[in-house]
Structure 1
């Protein structure tokens, strides 16, 4: 099975959507019957010259829309973000600004001031915000939209339960690693200039395994997640880094600042290793499985609080 495969567009009823770029500088209206058609029309209206197949579409909450069936569930006039290759959908400052706005922090007077405030010493401010959250557990065990409507308020999703929504976000995160991996491989000199390596890489069976290894729960029975600590430590040195996104909307939003951290790094180590094996013609099935496990499973991924996410070289 190849990294890339053709999916025939599924045609649904004509609906209108709002589409903006990652900088929120322009917003257009698009009427379409499928995700494929939306990408084509949005690219034309926003003067995007990239191949629509290279374009990603996101909801405002960061959910990736990558399936026609999922796209068909969106309500008319949903606002969508068009992302070109190499662009970032949300900055940390954008995300935290929204978080603080949701929990009614007084000093948010102007967006620019908030962005400047959050850009400096970002990790410490997240820690302060986490400690300030309400820890009322009275609705944590509630699951459905009817039981806890404020948890779902503002989420552009048709998911009926908290579990379904967070499962979808988990899928989005892992698929994001897949797309970044594919983009890095395709932009490499090895892929562009070495036909033998390109053939090996194109035959790699990676995406088929993703759905099979995404069902391991990282939270306890109440939905609480604990930080696993910096990549080169056995556990979180703080011991207090924990969060329950099922408890409240505020914690759900703040949970987006937590990250998966590759102990063996994806871009600096794993992808170069895959390219090296492919260029030598020695990338066999066992190598691909090993690289897959290190890219997409908890064998090499640890869930970390932003304070424990070390973005420097892991050596």
Structure 2
């Protein structure tokens, strides 16, 4: 057991310095204008800094998720072909992933990379609350300030389970736990409902996504009641960042054959129409305009049918001569 603690300490020690350095930077930025709340705002600044640094990983995650979706029809074919041989099926599936340069674990990279930072922040706040001792660049005096820092009249080092009957702590912690749980669920739901083609909603990858959809929020809901308010702020802010970032990517660069792709095509068509530009197909090629039909000559007007009496009145058929005209040859 001590061996595992030593390994954990070896891994987390550099993160204590990194997390505390960023936290102290943002605390210094907000302290002149926010006072005690500057520590809570510093945690939010820490979250945004970490997530901004992880943008390349997020892009890699999106590309990997898209490749996984596009490969689902091929995976289904392999399942039909090697369904009786699980070992061969696993080998052929991994071969398919290697050939397409797709990493099935890349979709979890942001979560995996983020967890050590989450744990480092949790330990910083936990040690400050319990012992008033700092870690990394955080001095003991600053740790005590962090312990006593408040937001909305509640200490950010408090948690739902350590509220000791303080209803303000319990209410704020409950609100943040619910917010953390709901945003976790909506983030996964957004990806599945908007950016996954119909044929990718079944199979192993879809099962993995459904598992994350329901299990992750449940884990955070159960474990969240023991998290300090500051840690809940971190994770809720991180989820909101993920939702916004994911919304932007799905809206502007959706996976093919998805609801988001169809919505983007419709928006692009309306935009080109407003600008007076020609329509383009799904490949981006300009559609050929239909040639106008040649003008047809106007139909020849047919003479109106007249009755016998009308013809006589009009001077036809041996009727009376028209007034002022001789009825026969003039005498010389």
Name the TM tier (shorter chain): under 0.3
Larger radius of gyration: 2
Instruction: Give the strand-richer structure, 1 or 2.
Output: 1
